[in-house]
Amino acid sequence: MTSLEMIMTDKIALITGGSRGLGRSAALHLAKQGVGVVLTYLSRSDEANSVVTKIENLGGRAAALQLNTGDTAQFASFTERLADTLDQVWGRQSFDYLVNNAGIGINSAFAETTEDEFDTLMNIHVKGVFFLTQRLLLLIEDGGRIVNLSSGLARFSLPGYAAYGTMKGAVEVLTRYMAQELGPRGIAVNAIAPGAIETDFGGGMVRDNSEINQFVAASTAMGRAGLPEDIGGAIASLLVGGNQWMTAQRIEVSGGMNL
């Protein structure tokens, strides 16, 4: 028996965009604490299945479902597939934790950002989070937890991220409204705001461009860019740790960037 099997809980988390980057890290951190994981992916089923296999090899249970979080027309059928998956894998019709993580980045100057770029970001980061969460309310357990992913760019400004930062600012406002309206069900809703992280997000600039990485490190109190594990661990601790009375909060996990 593995240590994971010994601490297995009856909790289940749904993580959008859980096949890579921050979502993948959150999925593995939660699985190591005995939480079952359903993760969504957009197109790379191989990456999603790799995460599922890794969790299963740890002794946990996981499943992967395809979803375009920027297409609200998919949400009804996705909810049905999710309910079927919960029943087949866990014998349940509900889950406990929702992590609205899926997202993309567009680096474009304010004066050059197109309406199509703006709408793409809006559909994924704001409209998708709003209406997917709304659709899933019937499946989320009372006393559950929701974490929305924001960004340090909602607090500080860097050229090229006007549209993206605007979306994340909206996510933070939405988080407070969700917390207010879901509070009577005992559902806590908080936002995690990562700093600059070494992932493939935005073409992998922070991870692969040494000049940008050094700029981030010099702008950060803790002297380095963030790693996926920094955010995955923060998400897991917020969901299963001792913060169950905390709601409507923005928690920045940036190592102290641009203080």
Q: What is the pLDDT of residue 201?
A: 67
Q: What is the pLDDT of residue 142?
A: 98
Annotated catalytic residue: which of 41, 97, 164, 177?
164
User: What is the four-CA torsion angle of 253, 226, 12, 183, rounded to 10 degrees?
Assistant: 10
Q: What is the pLDDT of residue 206?
A: 76
User: What is the rounded distance in angstroms from the CA atom of residue 163 to the CA atom of residue 123?
Assistant: 12
Asked if 175 contacts 191 with a C-beta cutoff of 8 angstroms, the reply is: yes
Q: What is the pLDDT along the chain (259 residues), one digit of tens a residue?
A: 454 444 557 999 999 999 999 999 999 999 999 999 999 999 999 999 999 999 999 999 999 999 999 999 999 999 999 999 999 999 999 999 999 999 999 999 999 999 999 999 999 999 999 999 999 999 999 999 999 999 999 999 999 999 999 999 999 999 999 999 999 999 999 999 999 888 776 666 777 678 889 888 899 999 999 899 999 999 999 999 888 899 999 999 999 999 9
CATH fold label, 9-253: Rossmann fold (3.40.50)
Domain boundaries, the chain: 9-253
Neighbour tally for 86: CB within 10 Å? 20
164 assigned to active site: yes
Q: What is the pLDDT of residue 119?
A: 98
Which residues, including other chains, have CB under 8 Å from residue 36's CB and lie 6 or more apart? 11, 12, 13, 60, 61, 62, 89, 90
User: What is the rounded distance in angstroms from the CA atom of residue 53 to the CA atom of residue 46?
Assistant: 10
User: What is the rounded distance in angstroms from the CA atom of residue 134 to the CA atom of residue 145?
Assistant: 14
Q: What is the pLDDT of residue 3?
A: 46
Asked if 230 contacts 253 with a C-beta cutoff of 8 angstroms, the reply is: yes
Q: What is the pLDDT of residue 242?
A: 85
Integer distance in angstroms from the first to the last C-alpha of the chain?
46
pTM of the model: 0.94
